[in-house]
Amino acid sequence: MSSISGILAAIATPFDGDENLVEVALRAHVRRQLDAGIHGIFALGTNGEFYAQSADERAEAARIVIDEVAGAVPVVIGAGAATTRETIAIAADAAAAGADALSIITPYFAAASQVEIENHFRAVADSVDVPVIVYNIPARTGNVVAPATLEKLAAVDNITAVKDSSGNFDTILQYLERTDRETFDVISGNDSLILWTLLAGGAGGISGIANIYPQTMASIYDLFVAGDTDAARTAQDSIRPIRNCLALGNPNTVVKAAANERGFGLGPARAPFNALSDEAKKQVAATVAADVERGLA
């Protein structure tokens, strides 16, 4: 697979009250996305709480997702870690499990120079035979993939895309300017920028909100491709209320709470990222109820 396009659901990982993975809920959530017309599954990213799971837990979840999708759509597995050594090990496992592509987050916690970031991605790409997606999310990692660095990485044969979750549209535009859209995909990791990324020449989006409204998210791309930009914008604008709720707590906790309001059974986020206030829970519940009333699905 050399190209990623459309809306990929950045699926949450369901846990029970004791923080154990719930396989039946994970399979059901994958099936829910497929039934809604989502164009790909992105597992074990930020929404998938990769940072809260051991390598063995991540490997188990990856295999469940890949098995459930069974080739229906592309599966991207988040395989990043803080060090190059650990990332290569996780990437090898995900590739062996049958991932169509790997999302590799920048190193995190410790500051990394652009040379170190470039070296990291090159080493990981050299270690696997599947496409690698560069994942830029500086607010969470403290490290940014500069446009000039991405331009160099895009020349590596199996580094085929970037997921930008910086929230800075100018970064997406610079990525587009420095890469060849025929051979390299620029993907929005910010739900609110998906349509604008498509209009600028990007390939699609990786969506956390798809955990709550997969059909609505998939429709942004479908309507855009069909040439109905006005309807695509209506769908894009429709998620603003739930996006505004992400400020109420840890965004992953908010997404799970909202999905659970829809009866999706994703359980809690792992501690300590699970202490949503009662007032926040009420606001999320009210927002979801209003969204469903407006037709979001």
CA distance 202 to 199: 7
pLDDT of 133 above 50? yes
Phi, psi at residue 41, to the nearest 5°? -115, 130
Residues 163-174: tens digit of each pLDDT: 999 999 999 999
**What are the binding residues for pyruvate?**
206
In 3-state terms, what secondary structure has residue 272?
coil
pLDDT of 2 above 60? no
Model confidence at 136, in pLDDT bands (50, 70, 90)?
very high
For the chain, domain boundaries: 6-229
Mean pLDDT of 246-268: 97
**Is residue 38 packed enough to be buried (19+ CB in 10 Å), middle (13-18) or exposed (0-12)?**
buried
Model confidence at 3, in pLDDT bands (50, 70, 90)?
confident
What is the amino acid identity at position 280? A
CATH number 3.40.50.1370 is the correct assignment for the domain at 6-229: no
pLDDT of 261 above 60? yes
Active site residues: 135, 163
How much is the pLDDT for 1? 41
**What are the binding residues?**
206
* Average pLDDT, rounded, for the chain: 97
pLDDT of 14 above 90? yes
Model confidence at 4, in pLDDT bands (50, 70, 90)?
confident
DSSP code of 27?
H
DSSP code of 207?
E
CA distance 208 to 47: 6
How much is the pLDDT for 285? 98
CA distance 270 to 251: 13
What tokens appear for 162 in the block?
A: 């970037």
What tokens appear for 229 in the block?
A: 């930009």
Which spans in the chain are helix H? Answer: 23-35, 55-69, 84-97, 114-127, 138-141, 147-153, 169-178, 194-200, 214-225, 229-238, 240-244, 251-261, 278-294
Mean pLDDT of 64-73: 98
